[in-house]
């Protein structure tokens, strides 16, 4: 996923440098606040370890191919997201200078795509909330795999956006994304499993070394409520702003239906169908995700926002419902 | 696991090159780092169809490689890690952008072909420029330059430590995998049941090593800052070197030098 210099124009490279610098400045501040001088050599040695371990081929059963460790996730689990981010930055700089893997100008992009997502998103939004209360083998495996898959998907998506924003390739967005995401899904799964295997070994041998032990002490700094607010803001942004760019082309299912049946709307008849349709007609405030009277951008935005709020509300209700039932079961 | 051996050899060969006592090696690292960054910005700022303008930028790495006795073949080999991705992205351009630009000898050159060519050229130039930098400057000197450019001390220290322990870790990984391969002949990689123990043990040993490193560093008076020294040419000459290259490169970016020279001969 390392981007070469040729894939970015100076404007994009500069923007990504600014974003990565902000993340690095924040990480430096946090590491300084931790005031653990022992951490500095640990970061250096762990960085060298990840570098070397990534060159070991781990055979993937039944495929004949091999994969390697996910550096960002491993560093986060061992050192924490901030020290992990700085260590990954060092690794990426050395990879670019010594091994020509990635470019100096594209370093900001690479730091963002690999270190930021791997350490900040993987560490703060995935690893920490799940490991804070209770660390089990099953959780370590599930979280490692999920974090690797999600962060790699985000990284691959960013590579696509940065390349397209630079105007380097004539590849259409859909083709580019269609090539990038599935490949990185497979890579993420494999890397997640290998990383999980290593972390499980550490958990069994020296559980105190894993980062969540210290994370648990930081009470309420990244509370459930705060996480919820961030997720709500993200959902509002995606629903309200990003949905403006939603494709007018049919989605996968509609496309397949059009190919096979010649239409994307299936006709159905019968009493039950008519009853359901009349109920839907009266209750739906946003038929087909836009105002019934308008195809405007405002309609799309409002649809996105309302949809986001509804889904979040539904998820929260489901979580509380499950909690309520579990409580009832236990006692 | 030949990758590990190759990586070790690559680092040693770069160190040997960077520790020579040539003129380019003795230029102040800050000047070299700044010229490299300036060069990369200028190269990447060329439009995707501006092949002739871009060609002018090949002079910088070419001049330095030739005069600094840096192997061009070695530089070309370094393209390998980035080539696949760039090729996959660039190779699509001729198919998606078929606007004819010119016709030469019965062959129609399309805009997509030009953009693909500029992409490959940019990749090559960027890799060569970075190679020239690392082949004439040790990692310690680069860290020194980064510190002078106000990169935070903690980041520079981590960078230096990673580099210092890199060969050690690569050798350890090489030993471990060799021992594994000798016990598991015919296997392409480490099998699933050994994923955790093999890398995990190495990781635990690394953490123990970090502890020992920290203790020995504090015993020697480490207070978080590395002090680097080097024997460079006088600062004024280094500044002159940097300014001249920056100006020459800017001229090549703004004026189509190759085109103008060509017009003298072809009317």
pLDDT score at B125: 94
For the stretch B136-164, pLDDT in tens is 999 989 998 998 899 998 899 899 889 98
Contact residues for B17 (Cβ-Cβ < 8 A; gap 6+): B70, B135, B136
Q: Is residue B5 part of a domain?
A: no
Tell whether A173 is within 8 A of chain B (Cβ). no
Q: Is residue A230 part of a domain?
A: no
pLDDT more than 70, % of chain B: 97
Q: Is the dihedral of CA B195, B201, B207, B213 positive or negative?
A: negative
pLDDT score at A144: 92
A45 and A141 share one domain = yes
CATH number for A71? 1.10.1760.20
Q: Provide the residue range defining the domain that includes B122.
A: 20-137+234-265
* Tens of each residue's pLDDT in chain A, 331 residues: 789 898 999 999 999 999 999 999 999 999 999 888 778 888 988 899 888 888 887 777 766 666 677 788 889 998 999 999 999 999 999 999 988 888 899 999 999 999 999 999 999 999 888 888 788 889 999 999 999 999 999 999 999 999 999 988 888 888 888 888 888 888 888 889 889 988 998 898 888 888 865 554 544 444 545 555 655 565 555 555 554 444 444 444 344 445 544 554 445 556 655 665 666 555 555 455 444 444 454 454 455 455 545 545 555 666 566 656 556 655 5
pLDDT score at B167: 87
Tell whether A306 is within 8 A of chain B (Cβ). no
- Binned at pLDDT 50, 70 and 90, residue B221 comes out as confident
pLDDT score at A160: 93
Which residues in chain A have their CB less than 8 angstroms from residue B1's CB? 55-57
A115 and A201 share one domain = yes
Compare A70 and B17 and report the one with higher pLDDT. Answer: B17
CA distance A20 to chain B (A): 13
A250 and A216 share one domain = no
A255 and A215 share one domain = no
pLDDT score at A110: 94
pLDDT score at A313: 59
Q: Is residue A270 part of a domain?
A: yes
A290 and A200 share one domain = no
Q: Is residue B196 part of a domain?
A: no
A99 and A40 share one domain = yes
Which residues in chain A have their CB less than 8 angstroms from residue B195's CB? 58, 193-194, 197-198
A68 and A168 share one domain = yes
Compare B85 and B60 and report the one with higher pLDDT. Answer: B60
A159 and A250 share one domain = no
Domain count, chain B: 1
Q: Is residue A240 part of a domain?
A: no
pLDDT score at A101: 86
In this prediction, residues B108-117 reach a mean pLDDT of 90
pLDDT score at A91: 93
Tell whether A40 is within 8 A of chain B (Cβ). yes
pLDDT score at A220: 43
Q: What's the rounded Cα separation, in Å, for the pair A210 and B207?
A: 12
A184 and A265 share one domain = no
pLDDT score at A260: 44
A130 and A93 share one domain = yes
Q: Is residue B229 part of a domain?
A: no
Mean pLDDT score across all residues of chain B: 87
In this prediction, residues B161-183 reach a mean pLDDT of 88
pLDDT score at B230: 67
pTM beyond cutoff 0.80: no
In this prediction, residues B63-86 reach a mean pLDDT of 87
Position B123 pLDDT exceeds 70: yes
Of B4, B163, B207, the CB nearest to A94: B163
Look at A51 and B162 and tell me if their CB atoms are within 8 Å.
Answer: yes
Q: Provide the residue range defining the domain that includes A85.
A: 5-220
pLDDT score at A134: 81
Q: Is residue B35 part of a domain?
A: yes
User: Of A161, A185, A220, which one is at a domain's C-terminal end?
Assistant: A220
Which residues in chain A have their CB less than 8 angstroms from residue B206's CB? 45-46, 48-49
A256 and A129 share one domain = no
Full 3-state SS string of chain A = CCCCHHHCCHHHHHHHHHHHHHHHHHHHHHHHHHCCCCHHHHHHHHHHHHHHHCCCCEECCCCCCEECCCHHHHHHHHHCHHHHHHHHHHHHHHHHHHHCCCCCCCHHHHHHHHHHHHHHHHHHHHHHHHHCCCCCHHHHHHHHHHHHHHHHHHHHHHHHHHHHHCCCCCCCHHHHHHHHHHHHHHHHHHHHHHHHHHHHHHHHHCHHHCCHHHHCCCCCCCCHHHHHHHHHHHHHHHHHCHHHHCCCCCCHHHHHHHHHHCCCCCCCCCHHHHHHHHHHHHHCCCHHHCCCCCCCHHHHHHHHHHHHHHHHHHHHHHHHHHHHHHHHHHC
In this prediction, residues B42-49 reach a mean pLDDT of 91
In this prediction, residues B219-243 reach a mean pLDDT of 81
Q: Is residue A104 part of a domain?
A: yes
Look at B163 and A171 and tell me if their CB atoms are within 8 Å.
Answer: no
Domain count, chain A: 2
A166 and A265 share one domain = no
- Say which DSSP state A3 is in: P
In this prediction, residues B241-263 reach a mean pLDDT of 90
Q: Is residue B85 part of a domain?
A: yes
- Taking only residues 97 to 136 of chain B, the set having a beta carbon closer than 8 angstroms to any beta carbon of chain A reads 97, 112, 115, 119-120, 122-123, 126-127, 130-131, 133-134
């Amino acid at each position: 996923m390392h981007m070469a210099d040729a894939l970015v124009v100076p404007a994009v490279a500069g923007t990504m440098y600014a974003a990565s610098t902000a993340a690095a400045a924040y990480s430096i501040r946090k590491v300084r606040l931790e005031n653990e001088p022992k951490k500095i050599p640990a970061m250096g040695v762990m960085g060298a370890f990840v570098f070397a371990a990534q060159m070991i081929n781990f055979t993937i059963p039944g495929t004949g191919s091999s994969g390697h460790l996910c550096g960002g996730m491993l560093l986060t689990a061992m050192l924490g997201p901030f020290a992990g981010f700085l260590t990954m930055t060092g690794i990426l700089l050395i990879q670019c200078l010594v091994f020509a893997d990635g470019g100096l100008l594209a370093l900001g992009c690479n730091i963002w795509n690999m270190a930021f997502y791997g350490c900040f998103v993987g560490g703060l939004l995935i690893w920490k909330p799940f490991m804070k209360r209770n660390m089990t083998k099953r959780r370590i495996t599930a979280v490692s795999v999920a974090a690797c898959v999600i962060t790699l998907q985000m990284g691959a998506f960013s590579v696509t956006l940065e390349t397209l924003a630079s105007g380097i390739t004539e590849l259409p967005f859909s083709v580019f994304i269609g090539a990038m995401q599935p490949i990185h899904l497979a890579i993420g799964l494999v890397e997640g499993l290998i990383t999980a295997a290593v972390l499980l070994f550490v958990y069994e041998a020296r559980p105190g070394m894993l980062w969540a032990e210290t994370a648990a002490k930081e009470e309420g700094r990244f509370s459930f409520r705060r996480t919820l607010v961030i997720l709500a803001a993200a959902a509002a942004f995606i629903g309200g702003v990003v949905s403006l760019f939603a494709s007018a082309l049919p989605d996968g299912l509609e496309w397949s239906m059009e190919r096979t049946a010649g239409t994307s709307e299936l006709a159905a008849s019968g009493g039950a169908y008519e009853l359901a349709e009349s109920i839907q007609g009266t209750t739906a405030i946003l038929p087909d995700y836009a105002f019934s009277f308008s195809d405007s951008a405002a309609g799309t935005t409002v649809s996105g926002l309302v949809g986001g709020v509804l889904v979040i509300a539904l998820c929260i209700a489901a979580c509380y419902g499950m909690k309520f039932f579990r409580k009832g079961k236990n006692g | 696991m030949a990758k590990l051996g190759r990586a070790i050899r690559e680092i040693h060969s770069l160190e040997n090159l960077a520790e020579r006592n040539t003129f380019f090696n003795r230029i102040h690292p800050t000047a070299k780092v700044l010229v490299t960054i300036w060069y990369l910005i200028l190269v990447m700022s060329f439009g995707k169809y501006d092949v002739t303008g871009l060609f002018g930028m090949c002079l910088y790495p070419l001049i330095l490689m030739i005069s600094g006795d840096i192997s061009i073949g070695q530089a070309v080999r370094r393209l390998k890690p980035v080539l696949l991705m760039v090729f996959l992205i660039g190779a699509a351009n001729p198919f998606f952008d078929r606007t004819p630009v010119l016709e030469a000898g019965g062959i129609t050159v399309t805009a997509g072909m030009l953009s693909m060519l500029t992409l490959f050229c940019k990749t090559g130039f960027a890799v060569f420029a970075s190679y020239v930098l690392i082949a004439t400057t040790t990692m310690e000197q680069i860290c020194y330059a980064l510190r002078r450019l106000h990169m935070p001390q903690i980041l520079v220290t981590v960078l230096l430590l990673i580099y210092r322990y890199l060969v050690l870790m690569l050798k350890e990984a090489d030993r471990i995998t060799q021992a594994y391969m000798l016990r598991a002949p015919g296997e392409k990689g480490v099998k699933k049941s050994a994923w955790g123990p093999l890398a995990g043990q190495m990781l635990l040993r690394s953490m123990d090593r970090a502890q020992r490193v920290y203790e020995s560093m504090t015993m020697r008076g480490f207070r978080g800052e590395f002090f680097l020294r080097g024997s460079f040419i006088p600062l004024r000459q280094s500044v002159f070197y940097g300014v001249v290259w920056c100006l020459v490169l800017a001229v090549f970016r703004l004026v189509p030098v190759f085109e103008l020279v060509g017009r003298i001969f072809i009317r």
